[in-house]
Amino acid sequence: MKRAGIIGIGKLGLCFALNLERAGYEVYGVDVSEEYVNQLNTKAFSSPEPEVSELLAHSKSFFAGTDISTLLTKGVEDIFIMVATPSLADGTYDHSQIERITEELILKGKLEKTVHLYVGCTTMPGYCNLLAAKLQQYNYTVSYNPEFIAQGSIIHDQQYPDQVLIGEGDEEAGNRLEEIYRNLVKNNPMFCRMDRLSAEITKLATNCFLTTKISFANSIGDLAVKSGADHEKILKAIGADSRIGSKYLNYGFGFGGPCFPRDNRALGAFAKKQDYPLLISEATDDVNKMHLEFQLQHYLEKYAANEPIKFDYVSYKKGSVIIEESQQLALAVRLAKAGRKVIVNDRAEVKKEVEKKYPGLFEFSKL
């Protein structure tokens, strides 16, 4: 049976581990919390992410632990790193969780047989090259392999990717990664193989393009509203052009969530360090903020001062439980702070989190 290891079995890593297990791999997951690992091994863990609890319940060769050494003693030659890389104030990413793992691996000394590391975390362009230089003498290759998934459909998105992005450490590592994905996916994606730096830029640039498209749609929509035109018909017509396409071309709330805003900013921060101001990433971010102000004015004018304003959801996208950088929540907050009565509806866990973050600011339709 083929073996694979995943270091960091959180939101992304656990889904990937279970997808690999379903594809016939013996999968060893490593994380830091004993309690979490026990919950996974006893199959007591329940996830809000679709299909995860079921895949975990049916899994036969997924083993979780807290010790990275297990991966080496079990002879695992393909190890994915999927720990968090939080954003720093300057828009760049904090790689310290990856660094800690690297230090642990280095402490084990030089390996007899090459082990291939695949970094699935979002990293700053150039980081994986530094990591590779550090680990090469210990007989590791380092490749970059980010995921294009959305929370709420991670299992599905990993099974049906449009493209598999491989920033390969060397040809063998790239071949191994391609084979792993060919076993995992249920469709026929494009394999985009390139060097690590190009792949790191590609990951951020993809999300920068999507945020740009959303900001474009919202700008044209705002302009249409301001001038009395029909935003829906305008955007539908633009999206009908096959060179443009209708996806992400709707008029609505600005972009938010745990990936889009930070990837867009990180690309801008990387460009700045290259002495190349990436105006598009800055403009996209500025437009997102401007759109919030536009919406605020629009709502204040549209609703009478005593008329309650109802939000059907305040998570960053419908159906999600995440409120991080949610533009609809930001709008609801601004309206409530402007003295309007705002009624929030959403899933119970979202309402609970919103109440915790903004005690007493909103009324809730039902808790």
List contacts with ligand NAD (CB under 6 A): 7-8, 10-13, 30-32, 82-85, 97, 100-101, 120-122, 147, 149, 151, 258-259
Question: CA dist 253 to 38, 101, 282, 302, 340, Å?
Answer: 40, 38, 18, 16, 19
Neighbours of 10 (CB within 10 A): 15
Residue with Cβ nearer ligand NAD (97 or 212): 97
For the bound state, the minimum distance from the C-beta of residue 232 to ligand NAD, rounded and expressed in Å, comes to 30
Residue with Cβ nearer ligand NAD (25 or 127): 127
Residue with Cβ nearer ligand NAD (7 or 165): 7
For the bound state, the minimum distance from the C-beta of residue 142 to ligand NAD, rounded and expressed in Å, comes to 15
Contacts of 242 (CB under 8 A, 6+ apart): none
Q: CA 338, CA 330: separation in Å to the nearest integer? A: 12
Instruction: Give SS3 for 364.
Output: strand
Nearest to 237 by CA among 227, 252, 229, 206: 229
Residue with Cβ nearer ligand NAD (51 or 355): 51
Contacts of 315 (CB under 8 A, 6+ apart): 321, 322, 323, 326, 328, 329, 346, 347, 350
For the bound state, the minimum distance from the C-beta of residue 127 to ligand NAD, rounded and expressed in Å, comes to 11
For the bound state, the minimum distance from the C-beta of residue 211 to ligand NAD, rounded and expressed in Å, comes to 14
For the bound state, the minimum distance from the C-beta of residue 215 to ligand NAD, rounded and expressed in Å, comes to 20
Phi-psi region of 325 (alpha: psi -120 to 50; beta: other; left: phi over 0): left
Residue, CB closest to ligand NAD: 10
Neighbours of 63 (CB within 10 A): 17
Q: CA 79, CA 197: separation in Å to the nearest integer? A: 20
Residue with Cβ nearer ligand NAD (40 or 335): 40
Two structure tokens written together for 355:
């109440």
Q: What residue type is assigned to position 21 of the chain?
A: E
For the bound state, the minimum distance from the C-beta of residue 92 to ligand NAD, rounded and expressed in Å, comes to 13
Instruction: Give SS3 for 118.
Output: strand
Residue with Cβ nearer ligand NAD (12 or 27): 12
Residue with Cβ nearer ligand NAD (65 or 221): 65
For the bound state, the minimum distance from the C-beta of residue 50 to ligand NAD, rounded and expressed in Å, comes to 13
Burial string for 127-142 (b: 16+ CB within 10 Å, else e) reads bbbebbebbeebebbb
Q: CA 346, CA 86: separation in Å to the nearest integer? A: 26
For the bound state, the minimum distance from the C-beta of residue 162 to ligand NAD, rounded and expressed in Å, comes to 14
Q: What residue type is assigned to position 171 of the chain?
A: E
For the bound state, the minimum distance from the C-beta of residue 282 to ligand NAD, rounded and expressed in Å, comes to 21
